[in-house]
Chain A
């Protein structure tokens, strides 16, 4: 049994409602006043963020952790990295744990790149001699050598991220806990990070990898656990678990509706209401036909005017590959007309042209943001739907067609020699 690196046994974490948001801190006066009032609110004012979770991870294994926002993944990672303590159950961890819960934790904008490397390294648990030894490697990985004596507040966001990731990635713990580091940065940076993660895994270290990026999970992990509503609902080989995760819990009627408690507070003033798939006849359906023109619509409301808002979709295959990204103000004329989008209720609708998607299941992600200002809301797996290829080109051959699209191209066959 000694090759188990992490053993989690019936772990549970309960939060007092109201302590989840830092905005609701207590004052001494409230507590003193509370002494004289009956405790009606606290009786059931708590919520289990995680409960009855048990699993183990072998030494050197890379385990994927997937789940929707608020499913309890972050709580699990916080417990394992000892940021917070469990309410019940226990976990046993062999070796030093390094967590990459958020890159750049503890970076100070006034300090230079060099100073931040030392500071951040120390915060992540590195010894000074260890940082010194890896200093050049870190700078090289981050590609910031020219700016190493510049305060990081003058760095571009890309440089900042690269440096932050570089420090964290050069930590050498026996167990590495990674949460969503790939959600940021450009494609090149993501590729580099994935490469580094792969190296870490090959070195035989144990990794817990949490991501919404299914292709990264598929690529880096062999086995994955699925977490939903605070419980572990599945542990399986990664392709199986990803497939299960993507098809579970989504409304099967071709519509996803957000309840108030599903929308993070940070989304304000944007409030997503629903995302729907409609077929050629305008009906909300789960399965659309490839040869028809279909539509995708997002319904939302704005409680205040928003400048530069764009509301859009990502379309992904269930293998985790992106098919496309599109925003409602992609047309620059529309973007200028709606420079400031007034408060109110909206539907942004786009058509999916006929003869476009191949058969299979697709995942719709929703994003509402103002470029370089703020990402109000993002749900990378808002809805799934199925495309039926009946009547599509090439159906005379009953074989699976590769690729996410199935366009009807104009083939011209010309005999050049009789």
Chain B
């Protein structure tokens, strides 16, 4: 129902009594929750604009408060790229994927950092999102899933700025632009869903156990080293078994996908599907866990 419709209904209400509105209005049944619940899609759809507004608020506030503002979103990946190039490429002699020029290591690292930093920021913000929006949770009803979702979505703006840098680097290093680039949104979507899945788990856990928020930075540090950010994926070639284990990290599939779309190396094969399967498992379980816990958020937070 659009706002104009409801405006007309309001008018009809005065004209014809209250019957019109009531027959249109939903009956909400409030009762003790039982068992596990899936997503209430209708409710999410009704509140779709709130996702937009909360995302917009997060972005606006972040750039208003930071002195460096947008520059921060650009400086961070560039500095990290430079440091990684010196340490891993120059000193430790890590090479990019076979088939690309060694001189391309900086952009190779940047192509890994781009989805990684998006994931890291989005997942970290999502994890603390419920606790930092406690005042909303205890005062107003709306589908709670909106809060971690908009925290994840807010990371897309930083991603967009870093992406512009990537285009610049591609031109500088003479990386050819190919049609494979059109696959990037798919891998970005997988990164987003991964951040959301993990964010759902941690945000709900964080309401009940506040020490979760101290665990997240530590977990992310480890996670980066088990993802092919600074090294190429073909380093992991000990055995099929370890490759499967390795690919259970969804960011492996995402970063591999990014590099393939940009440089045409190591096309995403079965390992990508292992990663994808893991995302689905994490996301579905995350949604169910979140839905189970959300009824207690207002009481616990």
Contact = CB atoms under 8 A, between A and B. Distances in A.
Nearest to A124: B140
A102 B142 CA distance: 16
Interface in A11-63: 11, 15-16, 19, 22, 25-29, 31, 59-60
Contacts of B298: 78, 83-84
A35 to B, nearest CB: 14
A110 B62 CA distance: 10
Contact of A125 (B4, B13, B47, B65): B47
Given A82-B141, A108-B57, A111-B61, A172 B10 contact: yes
Contact of B30 (A90, A111, A118, A122): A90
Interface stretch (A92-100, A288-296, A334-342): A92-100
Given A101-B140, A125-B142, A91 B4 contact: no
B198 to A, nearest CB: 17
B7 A133 contact: yes
Nearest to A13: B299
A105 interface: yes
A28 B138 contact: no
Given A22-B134, A85-B295, A130 B28 contact: no
A16 B299 CA distance: 9
Interface residues of A, number: 59
A333 to B, nearest CB: 41
A28 B212 contact: yes
Contacts of A97: 28, 141
A22 B300 CA distance: 7
Contacts of A3: 18
A105 B142 CA distance: 13
A129 B134 contact: no
Given A95-B25, A111-B61, A119-B57, A129 B4 contact: yes
A260 interface: no
Contacts of A281: none
B183 interface: no
Contact of A22 (B28, B64, B136, B301): B301
Contact of B28 (A19, A59, A93, A129): A93
A246 interface: no
B211 A127 contact: no
Contact of A80 (B10, B30, B139, B210): B30
B137 interface: yes
B105 to A, nearest CB: 40
B193 to A, nearest CB: 24
Contacts of A110: 60-61, 64-65
A122 B32 contact: no
B180 interface: no
B291 to A, nearest CB: 12
Most buried by A among B21, B30, B142: B30
A33 to B, nearest CB: 12
A266 interface: no
A85 B28 contact: no
Contact of A111 (B54, B57, B141, B299): B57
Nearest to B138: A83
Contact residues on B (Cβ < 8 Å of other chain), bracket: 35 or more
A88 interface: yes
A346 B131 CA distance: 40
A86 B28 CA distance: 14
Contacts of A203: 14
A204 B10 CA distance: 10
B50 A95 contact: no
B209 interface: yes
B209 A28 contact: yes
Most buried by A among B22, B27, B138, B140: B140
Contacts of A299: none
B30 A25 contact: no
A119 B140 CA distance: 13
B135 interface: yes
A133 B25 contact: no
A99 B33 contact: no
A86 B10 contact: no
Given A93-B30, A127-B49, A129-B4, A105 B136 contact: yes
Nearest to A60: B18
A3 B57 CA distance: 40
List 10 A-B pairs, minimum CB-CB distance, nearest first. Answer: A130-B3, A82-B141, A95-B25, A90-B31, A122-B53, A129-B3, A28-B209, A91-B30, A84-B298, A105-B139
Given A25-B210, A118-B53, 6 more contacts: A11-B30, A59-B18, A82-B30, A83-B137, A83-B138, A89-B32
Interface of A: 2-3, 11, 15-16, 19, 22, 25-29, 31, 59-60, 78-97, 99, 101-102, 105-106, 108, 110-111, 115, 118-119, 122-125, 127-130, 133, 172, 174, 203-204
21 contacts: A3-B18, A22-B134, A25-B209, A25-B210, A60-B18, A84-B295, A86-B30, A89-B31, A90-B30, A92-B30, A105-B135, A106-B140, A108-B57, A118-B53, A123-B53, A123-B136, A125-B140, A130-B7, A133-B3, A133-B7, A172-B10
